[in-house]
Amino acid sequence: MNKQNGHLIGAVLPDSIAMEMGIEAGDLLLEINNEKITDIFDYQYLVQDEHLDVLIRKADGEEWLLDIDKDFEEDLGIEFENGLMDNYRSCSNKCIFCFIDQMPKGMRPTLYFKDDDSRLSFLQGNYVTLTNMSDADIDRILKYHLSPINISFQTTNPELRCKMLGNRFAGEALKKVDRLCADGSGIELNGQIVLCKGVNDGKELERSIRDLTQYIPNLQSVSVVPVGLSRYREGLYPLEPFNSEDAAGVIDLIESWQKKIYDEHGIHFIHASDEWYFLAGRDFPEADRYDGYIQLENGVGMMRLLIDEVGEEFEYIQKEHGKELSSIEREISLATGRLVYPCIKEIADTAMSICSGLKVHVYEIINEFFGERITVSGLLTGQDIIKQLKGKDLGSMLYLPENLLRSGEDYLLDDVTISDIEKELDIKVGIARCDGHDLVRDLFGL
């Protein structure tokens, strides 16, 4: 809904203040305390007060002015049709590593939208480049004390950043970090570096790490992830994949800086994503090196956490459910991406060694859709899963990893649904959570 005409309410939570006051889905929120509301930032700031005058327009056009007294920061229980309460800001960059530019034609339109909206950084954890952020945006972040803000740095070399982002203002945009990290701001930041071979690695990576440490403690962490290269790169910047030797060098550089930074600041700060350890064939760092798994959603520490959780659950189940394990007769299958296949296979083998009546088939799905260089499970497609599992022993249940699906959806990137997979493979499909405890319970059917 156009913000000049109000913001359309999509749902009202049960037993909420909004429901008690008679607010309904389909109503329009016009003002709070005589203030027009631009977007979700304004709403969340204004709604914190203990006394609110809320102007609502009902579906029949009648306007209600509601006098509401509540606890400080207590929510009204309103969900808006547009979660941002404003238009989404699209990306103005032309990054040499952009994955959206590497997708084939013919997929659903939403997959081609490039967002670079600082509000989504706060609300959903998205990483933003700062090139779309105005001084007024910085003012509002500081005024409303919105954090954490997640930033895609790529490099701290201004000229190189302009080249990598394809934006002549990208280097200048780094100065906005100085305002966000000014003394007393209290704004928390996390950073990301998408590493491209021969571009921002090596000495450039070392420079970036050194420069970014000056923003500690506001900047709490920075992850380094390898660029994803699909097979659809015709006409794009010529990027090469990293090999195992490259990965080992990246890990060595990062771990040497972790030691220096930890000695000075008490945090490890700079983190290599799990892909580097897979590629280098090295063991994952111990849990305390991940500083509380602050960058888990960015693929940093997911495997260490999974391995530790699986170990804990195996121990618990043997202790508490030993008799049940001896009576299990169960045959199932798991499908996963190439990257994590060895780890998942080892977990399944351990489960079968614990329970003699359990048989688990683990299948490595090659990403033929995007190309074999794409090895993460989250970018697998339904068509690849169906094609590669046709005629295979699947048992009574096929488990697929939850990161194949976006929250609230039942279809994969290529619009193949879970029910499509069930029909094509004639098998019941379960969604295995990334939590190690739940994974073990799924294996045993407990």
Which of the four pLDDT bands, split at 50, 70 and 90, describes residue 108? Answer: confident
In tens, the pLDDT along 379-409 reads: 999 999 999 999 999 999 999 999 898 766 8
HSE (CB half, 13 Å, CA atoms) of 104? 10
Describe the crossing of helices 418-425 and 382-389 by its angle, rounded to 10 degrees: 10
Which of the four pLDDT bands, split at 50, 70 and 90, describes residue 87? Answer: confident
- Answering whether pTM is above 0.75, one says yes
User: What average pLDDT does this structure show over 305-319?
Assistant: 95
Q: DSSP E strands: which ranges in 206-290? A: 219-226, 270-272
User: Alpha-carbon torsion 248, 253, 259, 262, what sign?
Assistant: negative
User: What average pLDDT does this structure show over 67-95?
Assistant: 85
Question: According to the model, what pLDDT value does residue 152 have?
Answer: 95
In tens, the pLDDT along 127-163 reads: 889 998 889 889 988 988 888 899 999 999 999 999 9
DSSP H or E run through 432: strand 429-432
Question: According to the model, what pLDDT value does residue 1 have?
Answer: 38
In tens, the pLDDT along 244-269 reads: 999 999 999 999 999 999 999 999 99
HSE (CB half, 13 Å, CA atoms) of 140? 17
Task: Please list the residues that pair with 12 across neighbouring strands.
Answer: 78
Q: Which residues contact 367 (CB under 8 A, 6 or more apart)?
A: 337, 338, 374, 375, 379, 380, 381, 384
For residues 248 and 280, the answer to whether their CB atoms sit within 8 Å is yes
For residues 165 and 152, the answer to whether their CB atoms sit within 8 Å is no
Residue 429 in this model has a pLDDT that exceeds 90: yes
DSSP, res 3: G
HSE (CB half, 13 Å, CA atoms) of 164? 26
Structure tokens at 145: 């004390």
The CA-to-CA distance between both ends of the chain, in Å, stands at: 46
Could you give the domains of the chain?
A: 3-80 (2.30.42.10), 100-299 (3.20.20), 305-444 (3.40.50)
Residue 280 in this model has a pLDDT that exceeds 80: yes
Question: According to the model, what pLDDT value does residue 323 have?
Answer: 82
At residue 359, the 3 state secondary structure works out as strand
